[in-house]
Structures are given as C-alpha cells and as structure tokens.
Structure 1
Amino acid sequence: MPLDELPSWLAVWCREHLDGEPAEVLFRSQQVSMVFGLRLAGGRDVVVKARADDGRAVSCVAAQARLAERGFPCARPLTPVVRVGALAVHAEEFRAGGEVLRGSSPGVAVRCAEVFARLMGELARVIVTPPLPNPPWVRWDETGSETWPSIQFLDDLDQSVVSGHIVEAAERARWRLLADGLPCVLGHADFEAQNLRWRERQVWTVHDWDSLAWQPEAALVGAASGAFASSGPPTLAPVESSEAFLAAYQDFRERVFTPMEMEVAWAASVWMAAYNAREMALCGGSPAGSHALRAQAAERLRLANA
C-alpha cells in the first residue's frame, strides 16, 4: 500500500505520539478495526489500530498492557488510547512471526485450552472498567426481546437468507444464557486460531485484544471451545473437541464448573456459532459455520439443557 493512500491523520498522529512518521507500510487490514503495520522513519516497526470509539478501547488496551507487563505473550501497547475525531486510536509493538495452529482435533483443543486458561487467570487479576458494550458475537444479553443484537448494517440486509435452523438455535441458546445469573468476568471473546501465533509447541502471540468482553467465565470458555479452530471463515469445532477444551480448561484452572456453568458453556458455543452463521449468510460468506451448526445444534443444545 502506498504511503499516500494512508488516512490523512495518520502521519501527524505517528509524529506526535511515536516520534516518527511512516516510511513504509508493512500491511493493512480492516475488519472491526483498521490496522496499519508501519515502519517509521528511523526503522522502528509498529502497529497502529483505529476503531469507532464506542467506549470500549480504553479498558481493552489497559488490560492488554497489564498482561504484556506480566510477560503474557501479546503485543505491548506503546501509547494510550487517543481520540481522533470519531476514532479511538492506539499503537502497539509489532510482534511478528509465529504460525497459525490449524486443526480441530481434541489434541489441538487441549493445547488451546491451556492458553485460554492462562489468559483468563491473568485477566482475573486485572481491574479495569468493564469493556461494554460487549462485542456483538457475545452480546446475547442486549436489552430487548430480539434474537440478535442491533447491528444496523446487518439488520438492513435481507433476513430471509438466514436459515431457520440458525435462528432457532440462537433463540434456544439465548434463552438458556439469560437464565443463568452468573457473575461476569473479563475475558477474551474472539479466541480463534487466526488470532493466535505459535512457535513449535509454544504460543508466541495472542492477538485481537479489542475483543475483550464482560460475560460469565463459563460462557466465555464455552464460546472459545466452539471457536478455537476457526483459522479463516468462522466455523464450529466438533462436539468431542469442545468437550476436550472444556475439560482441559477446568484442569488447567484447577476448578470444576458446576452443572449450571457447563450448560451455560454449551449454550454460549451455540449462540456465537449462530451469530457468525447469520452474518456469513447475510454477507454472502462461507456456509461452513452454518453446516457445522446444523449438524451439531441438537447435541449442543441438549448439553445446554436448552
């Protein structure tokens, strides 16, 4: 990407907050956030992230900084969150390298569960303002009676393309999740293979700290148990692999979920999968998640008592 195609505010922002202007664009991506990998004049490589300022960013970056200070494998923030118009912007170190761990076997699930248990244990020691509103794919508790959280660009699309089995699974899982009354904790709500990098058998970096959420621990673990294998378009891990993830997480955290927490975990795995399947259907994306949900929903909902 040529430098002259960068947003007009970015060079000035880098000069003011990083003491150097961009000299080269290493990469650019845009999903929920705009992410720019930059080499500054002088040779330092950094990542600048900008997203709509919905009030979440300050808490997410603060929590990421705490974990980086303690040696958790994540990029260290280099600046606090700064408002640029309607955007919340911060910079972090460029932590390059590592490979995506692909696969959905129980063995892969256990490796990922160990990382998630360590992550959740570290976040349990972090005190920040809850990063609300939650990311939409775990926002089953949004006020109102609708199945889905209000996302204007999705709500304006043709809903008839969303299969009935997706809506039914989401409604049943949401009912179970709203009945639990469990306390909320801070956790990572987008624990997918594509957001982790590994060096041999050791995790090298956990990415996407914009996706911290404030939900019950069991629900966050359940969502991760279904999503951990997504290395591209979102899908749903096999039931036996989610079982392995849930069991391993409890072992690594040295605590046993109650029967209610186990039901909540299974319900969260269904709701997140249904949210992703709906979004893929509305946006013309991969049907893999929808197919996996159709095949697994009955068993997962049975385990959720939903």
Structure 2
Amino acid sequence: MELARDTERAILGVETAAQVRSWVARHVRDHVGGTVESVLFSGGDIGAVFGLRLSDGREVVLKALRPGANARRLRAVVRAQNALASSGYGCARVLDGPSSTDGVFAIVEERLTCTPTGSPHEPAVRGAMAAALAAQINALRGMDGADLVQGGPAWSDWSVGAWPVPHDPIFDFTVPVPGYEWVDELADASAAVLRAAEGPAVVGHSDWVWQNVCVRDGTFVAAYDWDSLVYLPEPAVVGQCAGAFSQGSPVRPDAPTAAQVAAFLDDYERVRPFTPPERRVAEAAATWVRCYSARCQLDNLQRRGMEPPAGSFIEALST
C-alpha cells in the first residue's frame, strides 16, 4: 500500500495515495468538470500541489490549502491574480476556487510552464526579479487588499513580537536555542521597526523567491504561489522579498547575503525610489524574514538533529 505524503495527510486527512487520487478526482469532477487523465507532478510543503492533465486536454494546477484557510482571504487572492492575468502579467488565470471538497479548500488554475535559466545570484537575473516585483505591485496599486490581512502567511506577521505561530506546525519557535538567542533578539528589534512603519498598504507577493519565479534569459516570464499575497506598506513587502529572493537557487548559497539583500533593494529602487525612512523599513523586513528562515533551520537542528545546509540563513545572518 502506497502511503500519502506527509503534506497530503496533514491537509486532506487521508492516509494512502489512493485516497489522495480519489479526493483530487472528485474535486476536479465537481468544480472544474471532466476527469483526470494523468498526474503530471505533485509536491508542496505548505499546500498540496498537483499538476494535472484533464480528459479534455486542459492542463491545470490544483492547490489544496491547509486546515483553517480563510475563504474570504482566498477570494481576494483570486481577484488579484485574475486581474494580473487579464492585464497580461505573467501569472496563471484561476479557473475555480476557492472551493471545498470534504471541507478542504482548493484553488485550480491554468498551468503555466517555464524553464528558468541562470540563477538569482546573477545581477541581471536579480534585477529582472526586482523589476517584475515592482511591476506586480504597481499593477495592483490602489486595490483594496483588506481581506488579505486575516490569515496571511506567518513570515509576514510581525504583529505580536519576534515570532508568530509558524507557517508549519512542525516548527516550534517557543523552544530556546542556546547560543542563538541573538536571532530572537534581532527579529524582535526588526519587528518593532515594522510595527511602527507608516504609509499606504499595497497588494504584494510575499514569497518572491527563485522557486516561485521564472526568469529566462534575463527576462521575467511568470510567477507562482499567489496565495502568499499580503497587504502591507510597500517597503515592508519589498524588504521581505529581498531577504529571501535567492531561496531555491540552483547555485548555492540558498540564503542571500547582506550585500545581496542590499543589491535587490537597489534594483527595486531603480523603478521606485524609497525615502530614507522607507529604506530602513525595507531593511528591517529583510532582516526579519532572514531571522524567520534561520529560526526554522535552528528548530530543525535542535529538535530533529538536521544540520543546516551550507550557506544557510543562520550563516548568512552571522556574517
């Protein structure tokens, strides 16, 4: 008997791969129409993601969300994503959702395919990522994103001190890590700056990292994972993206160095310059999200004995 992946079990409440296939088939039948001809890929850590070819020839991506997903927030995500797709921006059009099967919310969208080239450590590629983020934020500037606030991603929530409840229940940030208390202190100081930030909020992608963005031959093509949209002051959105943009890079290190964070912010400011106070907010957001990622790695180290990879966020923060 083939077991379901951990993420699939946590989200769908099933045990076997056959039960996963049954849930996917029923959701497609009831909400998209047609039957599943083949599964092109599956994966995901926060959501359970399936690339599907349907019997009518369509290729779609289905993303099932963790328990507790906020339907009002998801509807706002869909409105923003479809507005971008209609404008010609590189994102997939949502075909259905948020809809639920057996109490599990999911979104189904067209499948966009793109094979990236290069790496985010290359200045031209990094610049393309920054410019595309600026274009995305500008395209949705003025959109009311209030419904995005409730239930937003944990790595964008600095409202309650250093740490929110982590994005994945496997992590526990309440357990101190001896010798690394400075990470908690640095995160808390950065969070204080961010809570005091002023200025209008914008709708922006909060997980603008290499694994969610496709740049080919130095040109932005597409971005994915739009359920990570947030509604925050622009410098805070840009800063947290700068603090993680190289995550998933085919070339190590995975974590951006302080110099690379500054370079991403400089690239963004070529499109939309910040005032000195805004730049400080962006830098605080970058520091906070780097601390958040480091805290995940520290939790893996202390409670699971998982050594952090070379070029980790812990190492990047320490230098």
Q: Same fold (TM over 0.5)?
A: yes
Match of 1:300? Answer: none
| 1:286 equivalent in structure 2 | 308
Which of 115, 118, 139 is residue 157 of structure 2 equivalent to? Answer: 139
Q: Indicate conservation of the 8 Å contact 2:145/2:202, yes or no.
A: no
Q: What CA distance in whole angstroms lies between the structure 2 residues aligned with 1:262 and 1:289?
A: 22
1:250-273 per-position Cα deviation (integer Å, ceiling 9, x unaligned): 2223xx312111110000000001
Contact 1:235 1:292 in 2 (8 A): no
The farther-off stretch of 39-48 and 188-197 is 39-48
Could you tell me which of 164, 180, 192 is aligned with 1:175? 192
For 2:115 and 2:51, the matched residues in 1 are separated by: 16
TM-score by length of 1: 0.86
Q: Does 1:251 align with 2:267?
A: no
AA aligned to 2:36 is P
Give structure 2 stretches of 5+ with no counterpart: 5-16, 301-305
Distance 1:92 1:183, change over 3 A: same
Residues 162, 278 of structure 1: 8 Å contact kept: no
Letter in 2 for 1:244: A
**How many Å separate the matches in 2 of 1:234 and 1:164?**
24
Give the 3 Å change call, closer, same or farther, for CA 204–103 of structure 1 in structure 2.
Answer: closer
Q: Give 1:47's aligned residue.
A: 61
Q: How far apart, in 2, do the equivalents of 1:169 and 1:128 lie?
A: 29
Q: CA deviation at 1:59?
A: 1.2
Partner in structure 1 of residue 101 of structure 2: 84
Structure-1 separation of matches of 2:120 and 2:88: 27
Q: Which moved more, 1:273-282 or 1:96-105?
A: 96-105
Q: Among residues 260, 267, 271, which one is paired with 2:288 in the alignment?
A: 271
Contact 1:98 1:205 (8 Å CA) reproduced: no
CA distance in 1, matches of 2:178, 2:56: 51
The one of 2, 5, 8 aligned to 2:22: 8
Residues 1:156 and 1:141: Cα distance change in structure 2 (over 3 Å):
closer
1:248-305 Cα shifts (integer Å, max 9, x gaps): 322223xx3121111100000000010111012213363511100111xxxxxxxxxx
Higher relative contact order (CA 8 A, sep 6+): 1
Distance 1:84 1:194, change over 3 A: same
Structure 1 contact 34–51 (Cα < 8 Å) conserved? yes
Work out whether 1:241 is the aligned partner of 2:263: no
- TM-score, normalised on structure 2? 0.82
Q: Which amino acid aligns with 1:37?
A: G
Distance 1:149 1:28, change over 3 A: same
Judging changes above 3 Å, is the alpha-carbon distance between structure 1 residues 36 and 231 closer, same or farther for their aligned structure 2 residues? same
**Residue 35 in structure 1 maps to residue 57 in structure 2:** no
Q: Indicate which of 207, 211, 219 corresponds to 1:194.
A: 211
Q: 1:25 aligns with which of 36, 39, 46?
A: 39
Query: How far apart are residue 130 of structure 1 and its match?
Result: 3.0
SS at match of 1:49: strand
CA contact (8 A) 1:188 1:211 kept: yes
Could you list the runs of 5+ residues in structure 1 that have no partner in the other structure? Answer: 296-306
* Separation in structure 1 between the aligned mates of residue 126 and residue 100 of structure 2, nearest angstrom: 39
Corresponding position of 2:163:
148
| CA 1:203–1:41: 2 relative to 1, 3 Å | same
Matched to 1:24, the amino acid is S
CA distance in 1, matches of 2:97, 2:146: 15
Tell me how far 1:235 sits from its aligned partner.
4.5
